[in-house]
Amino acid sequence: AKVIYVGSAGDEYAVEAAVGDTVMGAAVRNGVPGIVAECGGNCSCATCHVWVDPQFADRTGPVQEMEEDLLDMAVSERRATSRLACQIRITEELDGLTVEIPPEQP
């Protein structure tokens, strides 16, 4: 499935992500800048924060409790479409998924 990452400068990265991978994993494996993913996908760092295109928001699954708490601690503004990229699993349904990368993820 194709995932498109949009950087804060408007730069775009289109990546072919494997079903079962995560939005974070696909970014890291393809060298997309701005997804730091310090904890390696354990849902404990919030440096993989993304803003999901509202069109896809109902296909990315529910926010779990741990993710909920971490999103509150993310450095960049939390929006209604904020997610942790390591908690979104790629499915065929998500083909074309577009996510915005916040400007800061220390």
List residues binding ligand FES (CB under 6 A): 24, 37-39, 41-48, 70, 84, 86
User: What's the rounded Cα separation, in Å, for the pair 57 and 49?
Assistant: 14
User: What's the rounded Cα separation, in Å, for the pair 34 and 27?
Assistant: 9
Comparison of 1 and 43: residue with beta carbon closer to ligand FES: 43
Determine how many CB atoms are found less than 10 A away from the CB of residue 102. Answer: 20
- Least distance (Å) from ligand FES to the CB of residue 59? 19
- Least distance (Å) from ligand FES to the CB of residue 66? 9
Sign of the C-alpha dihedral computed for residues 78, 95, 88 and 21 taken in this order = negative
User: What's the rounded Cα separation, in Å, for the pair 3 and 106?
Assistant: 23
- Least distance (Å) from ligand FES to the CB of residue 33? 15
Comparison of 57 and 73: residue with beta carbon closer to ligand FES: 73
- Least distance (Å) from ligand FES to the CB of residue 104? 15
Comparison of 42 and 64: residue with beta carbon closer to ligand FES: 42
Comparison of 10 and 106: residue with beta carbon closer to ligand FES: 106
Strands (E), the chain: 2-6, 12-16, 49-52, 82-84, 97-100
